[in-house]
Chains A and B, each alone.
Chain A
Amino acid sequence: MIDLLSIFLIAGGLFFYCAGTVGLLRLPDTLSRLHAVTKADNLGLGLLALGIALQIGDPLSAVKVLLIWLLVLAASAAGGQLIAQHVVEQKEETK
């Protein structure tokens, strides 16, 4: 039962990763690619982390995995803002 739920969650996470990657490859400019990558990959990592956390027997380690997800969320938010700021500044320079 738990294995089935894990497989379902991990498959969902993989779907979001694929969606983010397709967005990275196919969207026209940097800002929209950034949007696709950060949103889809954060959700994908969350589902993946939840699926893995169900497989770990020890609840403390499962909480650690979810804390890793929170850290990655914060890091990608900071990184995404930096990239977006750089893109906006570059656009203003070339005007």
Chain B
Amino acid sequence: MTETATNATSARRQLMDLGFQVLALLVLCVALVSLGALIADIWSDGGSRLSWNFLTGFPSRRAENAGVWHALTGSVFVILVTAVLAVPVGVAAAIYLEEYGGRSVAARIIEMNITNLAAVPSIIYGLLGLGLFVRMLAMGRSVLAGASTLALLVLPVIILSTREALRAVPPSIREGSYALGATKWQTVWYQVLPVALPGILTGTILALSRAIGETAPLITIGALTFVAFAPDSIWSPFTVLPIQIFNWVSRPQAEFQVNAAAAILVLLALLLTMNAAAIWLRDRYQKKLG
């Protein structure tokens, strides 16, 4: 009697288990299929337009002559300057908050504000960049102004992901270091940071991947202008791939729509390269430590 009851319960539980597994698989399929459809659609629109001439070409009034070299170099240049500006500051801020800040009320208020800043819409950062960098600091519509704006945008994300990485370092490693007479700085520099490095790198590259796709803040600071040359210094005017795509999509001619689709493929390739680099770096350092 009891045995039958147990068997019935067990069968029901296993059915529930299977049901949930199927449900999860379906949800995953919905996400993957819509992403696949999107990429296939763009590929069928713009795949034929992809060529060496398209990559190395400059903007033109004639769609078949137009290329993305100025926007591609602009994107890479802006993101490199953004990384140079944001990574040292973000990592240093996270080290301070996590290792030195303690658990005071002030530290908790700062932490809460950083979490909120990470959720602020990017166009707000664009307005800040326009007021602060373009006008007040008179940087004009330069690579430096754009990169500074994007640096502010990704800073909270870098701080948060670095703190997570630092928090994941086992306390026993810190204790072991302190017990040998190491100072706080030596403990952080020689023990904590190397262990946290893969996590910091992954978080940073993902934050920069987000920044490379940003359009709104750069349009706000005035990057949506006709730029016919690749930027050659941090003071050059610039454009980036998302803005070039926006520009082409808003034209009435069908040929420019094809160009936009091809430029989207270039941007996707750039993003995938960065994410692959993140995974490669993480695996490399984890192997070294293991």
Whether chains A and B associate is: no
